[in-house]
A and B are shown apart, each in its own frame.
Chain A
Amino acid sequence: DQQVKQNSPSLSVQEGRISILNCDYTNSMFDYFLWYKKYPAEGPTFLISISSIKDKNEDGRFTVFLNKSAKHLSLHIVPSQPGDSAVYFCAASDASGSRLTFGEGTQLTVNP
């Protein structure tokens, strides 16, 4: 069963607007949530994370929101830039903090 799910395979936004990427999970034992960004022919790179004791974490243009009751998290990118065009993976970990379970990924395209 898919414990971490990203229901939107793709998202297209205009430069300067907000990008919102969504992720749902089913395992209530998950304690940490992360977002990774992946460019073609490269490995994923860490973007931002959030612990289950928080509901928001911000880093520059990137903000992650966590709604534990709904088992939902989202990544907001404001303002979006063409260089943000990549595949974004949502990932989750239990309290051990080591093993990650990834979602399917969402291809973000930011149009100039």
Chain B
Amino acid sequence: NAGVTQTPKFRVLKTGQSMTLLCAQDMNHEYMYWYRQDPGMGLRLIHYSVGEGTTAKGEVPDGYNVSRLKKQNFLLGLESAAPSQTSVYFCASSTRLAGGVDTQYFGPGTRLTVL
């Protein structure tokens, strides 16, 4: 049981390049999320998905796209990378608890640098 895994762990891009970050979970969770963490700003939600084939915008969606073609995978795409997208990206998944809040399980993160 690997939990939530993220690929790659590190990446350096040049401005204007594109890339896709992959998140995979083996807990059969319905909900998946992409966050970015920047110094002094905590974690900010980029996009999320409440089930296979669905996606929704979070707090900071501009410059990113996502897809959830399979329940276990959630992809985050950068079409034209900018230096402002230099950050650590975390994926998370959760399942709906009856009468309670979801507990989100996080991956180890991807450190992205855009030059």
Contact = CB atoms under 8 A, between A and B. Distances in A.
B92 to A, nearest CB: 7
Contacts of B50: 98
B101 A102 contact: no
B43 A44 contact: yes
Interface residues on A, range: 20 to 34
Interface residues of B, number: 28
A25 interface: no
Interface string B94-106: 1011001111111
Interface of B: 4, 31, 35, 40-45, 48, 50, 58-59, 90, 92, 94, 96-97, 100-109
Interface of A: 4, 6, 9, 31-32, 34, 36, 41-46, 49, 51, 89, 93, 97-105
